[in-house]
Amino acid sequence: MIDGGIDLDLTAVLENVKEAQVICFFFPTLRRTLLVDTRTNEYAGTFIRVVPMAKDSADRLRSIRHLRPLFGRPESITLIPWESRVDSLLAFGVWEPLLARLDDWAPAEACLRRLRILEQQEFRDAIVGDRYETLWRRPAGE
């Protein structure tokens, strides 16, 4: 499937969402990752949080160990670059299977709201030029 010029293997994404212990959707434009850890034990349930993007996979594993100290190294982790809009997680049918893997949906909904706010801020910054440079400037006097 191609979304806005981005090639997306939705079947593989859904398979990974349904099977991986740890799922990381990283949003390059937002410089954030939606980190989902489906592992549970007698002391801790599932986990979902918006976190800064990692430098590399080793950095991500360190952050998971820091955030989830009651768990060892995950048996399976998937890193999914998500270059589409945040709401496309819902539109493409990815959000529901993700929710199905969680004990509590409230933190997931809070994460979704957070990502939407970050996306709106990013669009605003691009429009007004904060942290962005224009390619074409209006000539002086216009």
Which residues in the chain land under pLDDT 70?
Answer: 1-7, 130-138, 141-142
Tell me, what's the pLDDT at 69? Answer: 96
CB 16 within 8 A of CB 94: no
How far lies 7's CA from each of 13, 46, 65, 84, 131, in Å?
12, 30, 32, 10, 27
Tell me, what's the pLDDT at 134? Answer: 63
Tell me, what's the pLDDT at 104? Answer: 95
Q: Which two tokens stand for residue 120?
A: 């709106």
Best CA proximity match to 112, nearest among 45, 46, 25 = 25
Tell me, what's the pLDDT at 1? Answer: 44
Q: What is the pTM of this model?
A: 0.86
Tell me, what's the pLDDT at 21? Answer: 98
Tell me, what's the pLDDT at 5? Answer: 47
